[in-house]
Amino acid sequence: MPESLTARQVVGRIRAGVGGWVEPTVDVFKAGDPDRPVTGVATTWMSTSYAIQAAAEAGCNFLVTHEPTFWNHQDTHHDWFAADPTYQAKVDLIDRTGVTIWRFHDNNHAGFDPDPVLWTFLNMIALTGISKGDSPFSWQGQVPRMSLKQFAEQVARCLHTTNVRVVGDENLTVHTIGIGAHNLDTGLDANHGAEAVLIGETREWDTFEYYRDAALLGIPRGLVVISHRDLETWASTVLANWLALQVPELKVVAIDSLPPFQMQLC
């Protein structure tokens, strides 16, 4: 019986299947042993403690995560957390479960056409006539004419979430929707000809206040904001399906990282 692939060999299959490889990149091993034989592969939006535990319970000791493990983009600054109990508990969890973690972010976005992370999301929220903007993370599409409030409600239904916030006149009629990612720059790029922009996780002091100023100054623009997880978690299943073709000898499953907010007070 042939030996199981190691995590490093699985990454080699991924790199071979991607159309080119971007360097420098955050797509490197973050924890665990890259040369440990793999019992199964789990994909997830973010390697939260829940996702790590769920991967182990599913019999998968290799976790491919889109976002960081240790709460900063480069997964550095371990000195910040040296005496932090949450950091120590998470390291202990990784050691105890034997899960190896590798990040697939930059080349997941850049290695496929169209970008599977954003393309999956665009189809989730039922946009039509989808077109790409000038920046890598801006898109546009259309919905039937409806109010800004109705569009926000549609987003909530499509994503099975209550984590939706709206800035602007909720009675504003919208048809063309811009899609931005995480900052005002991509929102402005997506704004051209759009009545509303939908963004996943963004700073409040620039993005929220720009759209609030627009509304107060009589400029008809609306903003709908969802969590980062609600923007990107859906692509974990798409990645799992693709990865299963690259490593047919291994079990591959997708694991949700769960919504970040548990309570809303009205």
> Per-residue pLDDT for the chain (266 aa), expressed as one digit of tens each?
467 899 999 999 999 999 889 999 999 999 999 999 999 999 999 999 999 999 999 999 999 999 999 999 888 877 888 889 999 999 999 999 999 999 999 999 999 988 899 889 999 998 999 888 777 778 899 999 999 999 999 999 999 998 899 999 999 999 999 998 887 877 777 778 899 999 998 888 999 999 999 999 999 999 999 999 999 999 999 999 999 999 999 999 999 988 888 766 65
What distance in Å separates the CA atoms of residue 230 and residue 226, rounded to the nearest whole number?
6
Q: For position 259, what pLDDT does the model report? A: 84
Where, residue-wise, is CATH 3.40.1390.30 in the chain? 7-111, 116-228
Q: What CA–CA distance (Å, rounded) separates 143 from 252?
A: 35
| Per-residue model confidence (pLDDT) at position 1 | 43
pTM of the model: 0.92
CATH 3.40.190.10 fits 7-111, yes or no: no
Residue keyed to tokens 């169209």? 114
Q: Name 62's bridge partners.
A: 41, 100
From the candidate CATH numbers 3.90.1310.10, 3.30.930.10, 3.20.190.10, 3.40.1390.30, the one assigned to the domain spanning 116-228: 3.40.1390.30
- pLDDT of 266 reads 57
Q: What is the pLDDT of residue 263?
A: 67
Q: By CB neighbour count within 10 A (0-12 exposed, 13-18 middle, 19+ buried), where does 42 fall?
A: buried
Owner of token pair 């995480």: 182
How many DSSP H helices and E strands does the chain contain?
Answer: 10, 11
The pLDDT score that the predictor gives to residue 185 is 77
